[in-house]
Structure 1
Amino acid sequence: MVTSMKRWWRHLTTGSLARRRAFPGLVMQQIESAIRECESRHTGEIRFAVDTALSFAELSAGMSPRECAIEAFSKLRVWDTAHNNGVLIYVLLADRDVEIVADRGVGNSRVPPSEWEACCHAMEAHFRRSHFRDGAVAGIRAVADVLGRYPPEPRVADAGNELPDAPALL
């Protein structure tokens, strides 16, 4: 129950000011540049999304960060790529939690879950020290490395930039 109350408190007190401190405009531009640069190395599509905190209804329903990431994957249409090669990096700021959701072209049937977990843990370690820019860029590069090691099968030509490179604010 204590953990639950702490989580409620974090979500109710984490607002847009905290998000702007963690991810100011310059950091958002650097994230966008990192995505653009990393996508030039593989055919995958990376989408980065920051969710400040869960709503009262989401907290009441007991939504996990993973469930929120899957919902964001759908809402942001990360699945809507020609080769099913979209990957969402989802940050839930109030929980300092990172989730990665990958479409079936690069999903867990081909990539060991430990690969995605390592990307998340690296970002979360930076975030715990309030190094949000470093964590975001390191995570994007780690995801790009995974996509480079596990290209979509069969190998396909790059369909171009199908998803926005700019981070999404949820």
Structure 2
Amino acid sequence: MNIQRIVRHLLVTDGQVKRAFPPSTLSRIEQAIKASEASHVGEVRFAVEGGLDGVPLFKGLSPRDRAIELFSQLRVWDTQHNTGVLIYLLLADRAVEIVADRGIHAKVESQEWFRVCRQMEEAFRRSDFEGGVVRGVETVTGYLVQHFPSNGDDSNELADEPVLL
């Protein structure tokens, strides 16, 4: 049990999340996702969570495991071409995780997703939340365009707006 991590998570407030992601930033992220999805058959979701609480926190749930839970809860896995991608930020840990469905995961190496996450985390260390997420979406878009370009019959299977948890 990591007491410092528990305290850090319990001290993150909704106000801190809203300051990092004000409505204008959320709108810009949503626009980036919409623009992204116009160029490929994939689906991109972004979720941010201030901190964990309760049993998951005290059991030491990792950001990766939480991202996998959300991948399921947000139904990112449930797309026609198996090309859903979740970008998840756990603000208390300043940790980014990308979970990709099997269609795109088979085409993009894990270290590429890892690289995108670290670039986003670097931007967040500078408090550049909007820029970090938008650049992350743009990088993910590049992979989706390369492997699953638009076929002209793309339907928007998942909501584009960011999820604040």
State the TM-score, normalizing by the size of structure 2: 0.94
Q: Which 4+ residue blocks in structure 1 deviate beyond 3 angstroms?
A: 155-159
1:54 to 35, 52, 55: 52
Matched, 1:119 2:108: no
Report how many aligned residue pairs link the two structures.
165
- The whole-number CA distance in structure 2 between the counterparts of 1:60 and 1:149 is 41
Match of 1:106, SS state, is helix
- The whole-number CA distance in structure 2 between the counterparts of 1:17 and 1:35 is 24
CA RMSD of superposed structures (Å) = 1.6
Does 140-149 or 94-103 show the bigger shift? Answer: 140-149
Match of 2:159, SS state, is coil
Q: Which residue of 1 aligns with 2:145?
A: 148
State the TM-score, normalizing by the size of structure 1: 0.91
Quote the offset at 1:9 in angstroms: 1.6
- The whole-number CA distance in structure 2 between the counterparts of 1:83 and 1:23 is 30
Q: Which residue of 2 aligns with 1:133?
A: 130
User: % of aligned pairs identical?
Assistant: 50
1:106-137 Cα offsets, whole Å, 9 max, x none, are 11x32111111111111100001111001110
User: Which sections of structure 1, spanning at least 5 residues, go unmatched?
Assistant: none
Equivalent residue letter for 1:29: S
User: Which sections of structure 2, spanning at least 5 residues, go unmatched?
Assistant: none
- The whole-number CA distance in structure 2 between the counterparts of 1:149 and 1:11 is 38
